[in-house]
Amino acid sequence: SAVISQKPSRDICQRGTSLTIQCQVDSQVTMMFWYRQQPGQSLTLIATANQGSEATYESGFVIDKFPISRPNLTFSTLTVSNMSPEDSSIYLCSVGGGGVLLDYGYTFGSGTRLTVV
Amino acid sequence: RKEVEQDPGPFNVPEGATVAFNCTYSNSASQSFFWYRQDCRKEPKLLMSVYSSGNEDGRFTAQLNRASQYISLLIRDSKLSDSATYLCVVSYNAGKSTFGDGTTLTVKP
């Protein structure tokens, strides 16, 4: 399975600022996914990042707040813009979901623990 | 109603016990099913994919019942190291995955 390097692993940010999270994959992948995991909750998909096209956002998430870049098949960034304390969460990137039966599952980066003060 | 619902837990069991987790999903078009394990402050890691025929990996057995839209995970002979949160995940295409809220298991000596 793919190996993902995600950074930063954690950050404490002032409200109103922005943070860019990076994910580097050791192999070329078509789709990368960005998730948010709020304290004590499960993962929620923010968007799907495809190389060469705009990201596809899930309901409740917008490009102005979470701009995504996907410059090539091994790299993606997620920016959390104009942060507020409600954005405090763990952000994870993920790849996978392939296979003939779509049963390969997903590999996750180690996550970015964001605290907004 | 949530798309994926799991037993709320927590489950506290002694070492050696057998424990079962249940999960139901609402989207009948779902195509693939997984159990993930998430340790505290760590990312989720794939435990096993789940098939209609059922599948077993050592002490872990997963079952899928498409008619009832139900998935289960059975852990036999629980170890202390099995303590974690177990996430039920359902996908209806290669990109769209929905995670359950997770069931926390604590195995005690």
Q: Are B97 and A95 in contact (CB under 8 A)?
A: no
| Cα angle: B10, vertex B4, A76; to 5 degrees | 100
B12 has a pLDDT exceeding 90: yes
Residues 10-39 of B with CB under 8 A from A: 31-32, 34, 36
Chain B residues in contact with A104 (beta carbon < 8 A): 49
pLDDT at residue A89 is higher than 90: yes
Measure the CA–CA gap between B106 and B84, rounded to whole angstroms.
7
C-alpha span between A36 and A46 (Å, rounded) = 7
- Decide if A31 and B49 are in contact by the 8 Å CB cutoff: no
C-alpha span between B4 and B15 (Å, rounded): 29
pLDDT grade, residue B72 (50/70/90)? very high
pLDDT confidence of residue A7: 96
Task: Quick: pLDDT tens for B24-41.
Answer: 999 888 888 999 999 998
More confident position, B73 or B32: B73
* Per-residue model confidence as pLDDT tens digits over A92-108: 999 986 666 666 788 89
pLDDT tens-digit readout, A19-55: 999 999 999 988 899 999 998 888 999 999 988 888 9
Q: What is the pLDDT of residues A67-78, one digit of tens each?
A: 999 999 999 999
